[in-house]
A and B are shown apart, each in its own frame.
Chain A
C-alpha cells in the first residue's frame, strides 16, 4: 500500500513580528497566509492529496480575520485534505481557538485532530494525532500511540508537536516526545512540528520546519516535506520542497575600509529580484576612517531599500579620525571643533569617547553636506 502526503508545521498564522515596522509586519503575516497556496501546489505536484500540519497552525488567540482567512484558503483547495493538529501555540483547550474554528463550520476537507484517537485518512492509512491540550504537557502526548490498534498491514502515521528527548531540538513547546515512538508505536512515519527548521531525527521521524521563516536562526526553515510511504514496513522517502516567499539571512563582516562591503553588495546583487523578499541581519565590526565610516553608512543606506529589511548592527564598527578626515571636515572653527572631539574620542577618561566619536562622525557628514550645498549653490 503506497501513500503520499505533504508534511508541514509551525505556520503560526497571525504572528505579530513585533520587531518590524507596521508595513513589514503586514507583508510577513501575509506571506505566511499565502504559504497555504504554495503548500497546496507543492502537494499537487507530488501527487499528494493530504497535507499534515504538525501543530501551531495559529500563533495564538488570533483575530477573527486571521482565524477565518486560512480556512477559506484551505477550503478553496478542495482536492486537498488538510489535517490540522493543535500545538502549543494553539492548544485544543476548552473554549479555545479550535472551538472558534468549529463555530465557523470549516469545509469538509479540513480535519482538525483535536483528540488523541486514530483517524483513517485513506483506506488502510491511519493518522495517530497527539494534539496538545495546553501549552505544556506533563506526559508524552504520543504515548497513547503504542496501544492504538489498527488493522494489520495498515499504515500508521503519527502526528505530534513538541521536542524530541535526547535531541537538541528544544522548541517553544514545553512538551517532550519520545524519539523512538515510531518503533514503540509501529509508526510508518512520525510527522513532527515545533522545531521551525527542517530536521531529520531518524528515517521515520522528521521535523518539516515552518514553510515561512520567522527569524534569522539558521536552522534550514522554509520547507515542506513530501513523504512517500511504499508500505507499512518500508522506509519512507522524504523530499524537502522549498515553500518560503521570504529568505532570512544573517551575516557578520569585519571591515577595515568601506570597500570591504563590496562582497556583500555583490552577494545581494546576485540575489536578483529575490533580494526584495530577503531579510538581512548584518553585524559589522572593525575600525575604519571617518570617511570610510560615512561611506559605509551611505552604501548601507543605498543597500537597505533594495532589501525587504536590513537589520544593521554597527556597534562593533569603530570610526577612527585620521588627519585626512580632519582635513576634509573643513577649516577654521570646524577644524578646531573636530580636533576637540577627536581629543575626547581618543581619551576616554571621562567616558565620553563613544559620544565624541559619534559627534565626530556627525560633524564629518554635516561638513560634507555643507560643502556639497555650497558647491551646489556656487
Chain B
C-alpha cells in the first residue's frame, strides 16, 4: 500500500483545511516546525483507516478521535488517497457529527461504498492479501512519543506480521495458545507446589501432612489391635493348658505316686524313731552301769584314803614342832639388826647437818664479793656518762656542721668563678708610666703605681695631672648583669653560712669542723666504755647493784637462820668428831658421809632379809597347822562313811560288786535292740532318696495346682487386658483409619500424578514454545539484519515471540533495552519497524512506514546511517518522514512535501 495524499478539515489544531498532496510512494519527507500538526496527520491516517466512522470512542483520552476533535469546533473530516495492490482508492470519513464514510474507486471513477458499507469495504481491502491471511494493520509507524521506547507491535500489527511471517515459514503460531496454556499450567502448579523448590504446598501439602498423622494414628491403633489379637491367642493357649491340667487320669497318676512315696517314707521314719529310742535305752543302761561301777570303786577308795590320812597326820604334827622353834630364833636376830641400822642413821644425820652449815657460810661470802664488784663497775660507768654529757653540751654550742662547711666550699668556689668571669669581662687597665710621668695618674686622688692593672666593674675615673681624666666604664650586657646578680646572691649566701657557723671565712669554718670532730671522737670513746660497763644501760646496772645488795642481806639471814635451826649443833659436832681422826671440815665431811651412807644401806638390807626369813617361817607354820586341821576333819568324815567293823566292810564290798555285774548285762541287751532298728531304718542316703521321691511327688502335685492357679490368674489378666483393648475399639478404629488413610492416599496419588503431569506438560510447552519461537523469528531477524548492519554494525537483537525487543547483543555483551541510551533506543525502534516493513514488502504486501519526529536523539554519524537505512527501505516500501528538524534531515533527501490549504472543491468522492 502507498499513501498518495491526505486531506483534513476541522481536525485537531488545524483551523483551516489542509492537504498533503503528491506523495511519491517512496521516501516522502514533510519538514515543518513544531505545532505544525505533523502528529495530527499521523493520527488522522490511523483514524481514517481503522476507525469506524460512527465510532463514539471520543471520550476516552487515549482514543484516536479524542485527540482529533477540532479545537474550534466542528466534525473532523479526513480524506486519504492510497494505492493498494496497483489500484487507487480514495477514502473519506467524517466523525462525531454529520458522520459519513465514502470509499471511492479512483481507477473506476465511482463510489465503491458509503456509510457502514464503506467501513466494511475498507476492512475487506485491508484484510485481503495475496497470501490469503488477515492483514489488519497495513500501516507501520513510530510516533512522536514512541521514539524513546521500543514498543511491541500492537495486536493488529502482530497479527499482520504473523500472517506475513507464516507466509514464509508456514503455520507455526498457535495464536498465543501455548502461552495461555502454559500460564494455566503454572497457575495449577502454583496451587500444588512451591515455585522455587517445587515442594508440595496448599492442599497437596495438607494431604501429605494428614497422611502422616493418619499413619501414626493407624500404627498406634494397629499395635493395639495386634496386642488384642495376641491377648486372644494367649487366652486360647491358657485355656488349652488348663484343660490339660484338669485331665482326670493325669491327676490320678500324680496322686498315686504321691501316696506311694508317702507310705514308704513313713515306714522308714518309724524305724528311725525306734532306733532313736533304742539308742536312748543303750545310753541309759550305760549310765546305770557307770553308776554301779562308781559305787563299787568309791567304797574301795574310801577305805584306802582312810588309811593314808592317818599316816599323813602323824608326820605333819612332827613338822609343826620344828618350825615353831625356828621362828623364835629369827625374831631375836631381827631385833639386833634394827638397833645397828638406827645407830648408823643418827651418825649420818649429824655429819650432814655439819656439812650444811659450812655451805651456808660459803654462799654468803660469794654474794658479798659480787656486790662489791658491781658497785665498782657502776662508779666507772657513771664517770664515763658524766664526761660524755659535758662533751655533748660543747658540741651543741658549735654552729659548724659538715654540711655547712661543704656549702661554704661550694659557694666560695662559685663566687670565685663569678668574679673571674666578671674580671674577664671588665676592661683591663694597666698603668705604665713614662720616665717622668710616674704617679701622675691617680684614682680617687691616690696615685697609681707603675704596672698596676685595674679591672673595673663599674665606672672608673683616672685623673692625670695636668692632662685631665680618663673615665673607664665596663661594657653593658644582660649576661654581665645576670652574672653580677649571681655573684651578689652567692656572696650573700656565703656570708649567711659563715655567720651561722660563727666564723669569718672558709678556713676558720674548716678549723671549727675539725674541733667538732675531735669532741665527737671523745664522745665515742666514752660511749664505748659505757656500753661495756653497762651494756643494758646505767639505770639497769644500778638496779643490778641493788639486787646484789638484797641478795647479800638475804644470804646473811639464811646463814644465821641455819645456825639457829640446829640447836644441838654441838651434839652433832661431837658425834662427828668421834667418828673422825681430825676436826671436821668441808673437806673430810663428804667422805665420812659417803661411808656412813654405805654402812647404813648394808645394815638396812640385812634387817630386811631377816624379816623375810621370819615371814616364810611363819607362813609355813600356819599352812601346816591348817593342813593338820583339814586332815582331822576328813578322818572324822571317812570314819562316819564306812562301817566300823571289818566284816561289815567286806559284806558291803560284795554287794556293790554284784550290782555292777547286773548293770553290764542290761547294757548288752539294749545294744542288740539298737542294732536291729538301725538295720530297718536303712542308710541316710536311702532315707534322703525316699524324701526326695516324696518331695518330687508333692512338688508335681503342687506345681499342677499352682499352674492351674496361675493359668486362672493369667486368664483373668488376659481377659481384662483384652476387654480394655476392646474398650478402645482398636480394631474398629483400625478399619476407620484405614479407610481415611486410603482416601488420603488416593488423594495424594492424584496430587502426585497431577503435579508430575503438570510439570511434564509445562516442560513440553516450554520446549515447544522455544523451538517454535526460533523458527518463527527467523524471517523477522533476516529482514531486520540489513538495517542493523547499517545502523548498529556488529550488533544483533533479542526478540521474543510477541515481536518485542528484549535486548541488544554487542561485543561488550547483552544489554537490556532500558539500559541503552535514548538515541540507541530510538534507532532500534526505527530499524525494527524498517525490518517489519521489509518483511511485509518481501511478502508482497508493502505497508507505509511513518516516522513522526523520530531520530531526534541520534548523533550525526548514527543519523547518517539511519538515513541510509531509510533510503534503502524506501526501495521496498513507502517511508513517510514527518520532522521539524529541517537542517538535520536535509541530507536525507527524498521527496519533499508541503502542507497546503485544502479546497474541498478540488477533490471529489
Contacts and interface: CB of A to CB of B under 8 A. Distances in A.
B768 A340 contact: yes
Given A333-B768, A363-B765, 19 more contacts: A19-B743, A59-B732, A61-B727, A136-B232, A136-B726, A138-B236, A138-B239, A332-B178, A333-B178, A333-B769, A333-B771, A334-B174, A336-B767, A336-B772, A341-B764, A359-B758, A359-B760, A359-B761, A369-B184
B764 A340 contact: yes
B726 A138 contact: no
A69 B772 CA distance: 68
A362 interface: yes
Given A135-B726, A330-B174, A340 B236 contact: no
B181 interface: yes
B737 A18 contact: yes
Contacts of B764: 337, 340-341, 359, 363
A16 B214 CA distance: 15
A363 B174 contact: no
Interface stretch (A87-95, A148-156, A230-238, A245-253): A87-95
Contacts of B172: 331-332
Interface stretch (A42-50, A74-82, A350-358): A350-358
A305 interface: no
B171 A332 contact: yes
Contacts of A17: 739
Nearest to A373: B180
Contacts of A374: 175
A334 B177 contact: yes
Interface in B706-749: 719, 722-723, 726-729, 731-733, 736-737, 739-740, 742-743
Given A18-B740, A352-B760, A367-B177, A334 B765 contact: yes
A341 B171 CA distance: 20
A240 interface: no
A358 B755 CA distance: 10
A362 B174 contact: no
B858 interface: no
A363 B239 CA distance: 66
Contacts of B236: 138
A376 to B, nearest CB: 13
How big is chain A's contact interface, by range? 35 or more
Contacts of B726: 91, 93, 134-136
19 contacts: A89-B732, A94-B723, A95-B727, A134-B719, A135-B228, A330-B181, A331-B175, A332-B772, A333-B177, A333-B772, A333-B773, A336-B768, A337-B764, A337-B767, A344-B760, A355-B756, A356-B757, A358-B753, A359-B761
Interface in B222-243: 228, 232, 235-236, 239
A319 to B, nearest CB: 12
Contacts of B756: 355, 358
Contacts of B772: 332-333, 336
Contacts of A18: 736-737, 739-740, 743
Interface residues of B, number: 47
A170 B845 CA distance: 84
Q: Which 8 pairs between the two chains have the least Cβ-Cβ distance? A: A332-B174, A333-B178, A336-B768, A60-B729, A358-B757, A18-B740, A359-B757, A337-B768
A133 interface: yes
B779 to A, nearest CB: 15
Contacts of B185: 362, 366
Contacts of A68: none
A269 interface: no
A104 interface: no
A134 B722 contact: yes
B235 A334 contact: no
Interface in B772-795: 772-773
B723 A133 contact: yes
Contact of A335 (B174, B184, B753, B767): B174
A324 B810 CA distance: 46
Interface in B155-189: 171-175, 177-178, 180-181, 184-185
A136 B757 contact: no
A2 interface: no
Nearest to B766: A337
Contacts of A316: none
A370 interface: yes
B722 A363 contact: no
A286 interface: no
A212 B722 CA distance: 30
A337 B178 contact: yes
Contacts of A358: 753-754, 756-757
A330 B742 CA distance: 38
Contacts of A359: 757-758, 760-761, 764
Contact of B732 (A19, A60, A344): A60
Given A136-B232, A336-B771, A358-B757, A331 B742 contact: no
A354 B752 CA distance: 12
A358 B760 CA distance: 10
B176 to A, nearest CB: 9
Interface string B786-813: 0000000000000000000000000000
Contacts of A331: 171-175, 177
Contacts of A332: 171-175, 177-178, 768, 772
B773 to A, nearest CB: 8
A1 B773 CA distance: 94
B880 to A, nearest CB: 33
A370 B184 contact: yes
Contacts of A335: 174, 768
B175 A333 contact: no
B379 to A, nearest CB: 126
Contacts of A373: 180
A138 B237 CA distance: 11
A273 interface: no
B434 to A, nearest CB: 144
A135 B736 contact: no
A124 to B, nearest CB: 36
A340 B768 CA distance: 8
A362 B758 contact: yes
A65 B172 CA distance: 67
Nearest to B231: A136
Contacts of B732: 59-60, 89, 172
B761 A337 contact: yes
A22 B772 CA distance: 48
A196 B489 CA distance: 140
A107 interface: no
B186 to A, nearest CB: 11
Nearest to A88: B726
Nearest to B232: A136
Nearest to B722: A134
A79 B740 CA distance: 40
Nearest to B762: A359
A373 B175 CA distance: 13
Contacts of B757: 355-356, 358-359, 361-362
B473 to A, nearest CB: 125
B10 to A, nearest CB: 35
Contacts of B171: 331-332
A144 B783 CA distance: 103
Contacts of A333: 174, 177-178, 765, 768-769, 771-773
Nearest to A12: B732
Interface in B355-385: none
B167 to A, nearest CB: 15
Contacts of A369: 184
A335 B174 CA distance: 8
Contacts of A371: 177
Nearest to A371: B177
A343 to B, nearest CB: 10
A359 B764 CA distance: 9
B776 to A, nearest CB: 8
Nearest to B732: A60
Contacts of A330: 174-175, 177-178, 181
Given A59-B732, A135-B726, A341 B760 contact: yes
